[in-house]
Amino acid sequence: MSATATTCPYCGVGCGVLAHVDASGATHVEGDPQHGSNLGRLCVKGAALGETVDLRGRLLHPLLRESGALPRRASWDEALDRVAQGFRRVIDAHGPDAVAFYVSGQLLTEDYYVVNKLAKGWLGTANIDTNSRLCMSSAVAGHKRAFGEDLVPGCYEDLELAELVVLIGSNTAWCHPIVYQRIARAKEARPSLQVVVIDPRHTATCELADLHLPLKPGTDVWLFNGLLAFLFRHGAMHAGFVDKHTQGFEAALAAAESDAGDPAEVARICGLQLADLLAFYRLFARHERTVSVFSQGVNQASSGTDKVNSIINCHLLTGRIGSPGMGPFSITGQPNAMGGREVGGMANMLAAHMDLDRPVHRDIVQAFWQSPHIATRPGLKAVELFEAIERGTVKAVWIMATNPVVSLPDADQVKRALARCELVVSTDIVAQTDTGAFAHVLLPALGWGEKDGTVTNSERRLSRQRAFLPAPGEARADWRIVCDVAQRMGFDRGFAFGAPHEIFDEHARLTAFRNRAPRDDAPMAARRVLDLGGLAGLDRQAYDALTPVQWPVCAAGEGTARLFGDARFAHADGRARFVATVARLPVHAPDREYPLILNTGRVRDQWHSMTRTGKSPRLGGHIPEPFIDMHPRDALLCGVREGELARIGSRWGTMVARVQHGGGILAGNAFVPIHWNDQFASDARVGSVVNPVVDPISGEPEFKHTPIRVEPF
C-alpha cells in the first residue's frame, strides 16, 4: 500500500501526514517523519482524519434555490451562469463594491490566489475577507507595524532551543497539540527549560507550567508594558540593538512607564499576585533565549494589535529576535491562514504581502497581472462586510469553505444579513450548513484528500496538500470554480489555469517580481521578505515532488528557518519599530444585568463547526455536547447547577448549554466552546451571543470578552 504525503487540514501547526487507502477503500493516516514541523507525530484530531473522509452529508451536485423553495439540482453550466450573471448584474447596477467574497483559512493557497486576483484585479473591489480575520489579523497588523511586513521570525525548533517559553493566550495543549508536545519533550529532556503560561483559565497547558499567571481578561498590555519598563530599569536593554536596528523606543517606553511603571499597580490591574508578576519579569530579564508564543487569547480583543506589539516591544528592547531559541511567535489557528495572507486574501492586503494603500505595491501587482483594475482602497473586513450586507450596500456575496452563521460574532445579525442579500453563493463540501440554508447557489467543492495545492503553517513552512481520493460526485476544486465564473464574466485572460501548479508558479513569480535589487544592500522602493522566486517555474512533476520548505526560498531552492538574523527588517530603513501601546480595557464591561465575562475557544478534539470532526465517534467521545464552564460560586448565584442546561444571554443573542465546573475558571468568568451549531444541537451557536466589537486596527472581533448572564433553562 503506497502512501501519499500530504498535510493535516486542521490547525496552524501544519503537520505532515502520510495517507494510505486500503483495498476496502478505508483511509489510514500516520504522521510523516520527513515533515520538519511534526517529525512523524500527530495529535488525536490528525490521527482520526481517516474517519472523516466518507461521503455522508457531502454536497455532491450544484443546487439552486429559487425564492424560498427547496433547492433543486442544477447542472454546473446553469449554476455557474447564475453566479456570473448575478455578479455582473449587481456590478453593472451598483458598482464593484456592491459584491463581496468571504473566504477561509481552509482554502489552499492556489484557491486563495485566484479569488483574490478576480476580486482585486478584475472586478476592482477589495471586498474579499476571510475567516482568518477572526483568528490572527491582530498578529498580522502587529507584525506589519513592528517589522514592516507580516513576518513570523522564528520556527518550532526555537521552542526546543529556548531557556524560557512564555505561552500567552494559548491553550497550546489542546489547540496546537504537536507544538505543545515539542515543548513538553524539550522540558522533559532539559528540565531547566522554564515555561510560563499567561491565561485567565487554568487550562491543560498549565500542566507544563513552572508559573501560571491567571491574569484578568483584557489586561495583557498592562502586563507587557510593565515588563518593558521593568526590563529597562533592570538593565536588560540591548542598547546596541535598539540604537542600530529600531525606531520609536523612547515613545514606547514613555507609554509603558505612564501605564505600567509600578509593578504593584500592574499586579492589581491584572489581578495577579505581585510575587508572581515579579517572578515572571525576572525570568524574562534573566533568560536570553526566550520565545513568547501568542495566539487567540491575545489576538481576539479590541486591543489585540496593541497586545501583539506590547509583546514584540519586549523582544526588541532585549534584542531577542532572529537567533536560535528566541523571538515573538504568533501561532496561527488555521491550516492555511498564513498561505491566505501570502496571496493577499484579506480586505486590506494585496498579493505577495503587498499593501493596497501603497501605490508602488499596487503598481507592481497590476503590472504583473496586466489586470484591467487594481483595487485602490481597503475593502470591508469580516464583521463590517456582513453589516454592509444587512444595510443593503453589498448585494451579492460568495462564501467559500466557511460557516459565518456559526462562527462570526453577533451571528444572528449574519442570518439577517444573508436573508436579505440578493445573491448568496456558497461553495462547500457539506450539503447542509447553517450558512448554506441562506444560499441561492450551492456549489460542491473538493475536500481534504481530494484537492491538490499548498498550505503554509505557523513557521512559514510551505507544504503540499495532495489528493489521494477521487473527486466525489460532481465536486470541483475551488480554484477551478472561480476560474469558471471569471471566464463566464468575460475574463479569459488571467484565469486560463489548467492545474494548481500553474497557479502556484504565477504566485511564486509574483513574489519575486521587482523584488530583486542588483546588489543585496541596494535600496528598493518595495522590497518584500516573502520571496518564493526559488520555486518559480516548477512544472507539474516538480510541483508534485515539492517537499516542505520555509520561505523565503532562495534561487537555489533552499528555505529559511529564521528571519532577521541580520537585524534587517522590512521597513524601508531596515529598522524595526517599537509601538507606543496604550493599555485599555475591553469595550463592554460586565454590569448588573450581564455580570459574567464570556470567553470562547476550542476544545481538544473538535475543529471549527464540526463538519469533519463531528463525523468521528472517537473524537465525539471527548466532549459530546456544548457546555458552559463556570465557577461554582457564579453557578450558585445564577441559580444553575452542574449537569443542568442553562440559557446564556447577552445583549446580542442567546444559546443553551450544559453547566460544568472544573475548567479552571476564575470567578466572574465563563467559557463556551465555539464548535457546536444548530446542525448538531438546537440553540447551540455561541456566535449568536458574542459581541461584535472589533480591534480598530486589525478588525479582529473581541471573542474573549462578552458580558453575559446565565439562567436556568
Q: List residues near ligand SF4 by CB under 6 A.
A: 8, 10-11, 13-15, 38, 42-43, 45-46, 176-178
Residue 33 burial by CB count (10 A; 0-12/13-18/19+): exposed, middle or buried? exposed
Q: Which is nearer to ligand SF4, 181 or 654 (CB)?
A: 181
CB of residue 46 vs ligand SF4: minimum separation in angstroms? 2
What would the grid cell of residue 564 be?
532577521
CB of residue 220 vs ligand SF4: minimum separation in angstroms? 25
Q: Which is nearer to ligand SF4, 47 or 579 (CB)?
A: 47
Give the nearest residue (CB) to ligand SF4.
46
Per-residue H/E/C for 518-545: CCCCCCCCCCCCCCCHHHCCCCHHHHHC
Q: Which is nearer to ligand SF4, 384 or 450 (CB)?
A: 450
Under a CB-based contact definition with an 8 Å cutoff, are residues 252 and 581 in contact? yes
What would the grid cell of residue 146 be?
513592528
Whole-angstrom CA distances from 172 to 167, 188, 273, 284 are 8, 17, 24, 20
Q: Which is nearer to ligand SF4, 13 or 549 (CB)?
A: 13
Under a CB-based contact definition with an 8 Å cutoff, are residues 475 and 444 in contact? yes
Residue 394, φ and ψ in degrees, nearest 5: -105, 125
CB of residue 457 vs ligand SF4: minimum separation in angstroms? 8
CB of residue 701 vs ligand SF4: minimum separation in angstroms? 23
Alpha carbon distance 79, 102 (integer Å): 19
CB of residue 17 vs ligand SF4: minimum separation in angstroms? 7
Among residues 425, 472, 431, 471, the alpha carbon closest in space to that of 452 is found at 471
Alpha carbon distance 582, 588 (integer Å): 18
CB of residue 427 vs ligand SF4: minimum separation in angstroms? 23
Q: Which is nearer to ligand SF4, 109 or 290 (CB)?
A: 109
Per-residue H/E/C for 537-587: CCCHHHHHCCCCEECCCCCCCCCCCCCCCCCCCCCCCCCEECCCCCCCCCC
What would the grid cell of residue 15 be?
503537520
Dihedral sign for Cα atoms in the order 165, 630, 407, 138: negative
CB of residue 154 vs ligand SF4: minimum separation in angstroms? 18
Q: Are strands 441-444 and 423-428 parallel, antiparallel or unpaired?
A: parallel
CB of residue 51 vs ligand SF4: minimum separation in angstroms? 14
Q: Which is nearer to ligand SF4, 14 or 552 (CB)?
A: 14
Q: Which is nearer to ligand SF4, 15 or 430 (CB)?
A: 15
Q: Which is nearer to ligand SF4, 317 or 469 (CB)?
A: 469
CB of residue 10 vs ligand SF4: minimum separation in angstroms? 3
Q: Which is nearer to ligand SF4, 368 or 448 (CB)?
A: 448
User: What is the separation of C-alpha 359 from the centre of its chain, rounded to a whole number of angstroms?
Assistant: 27
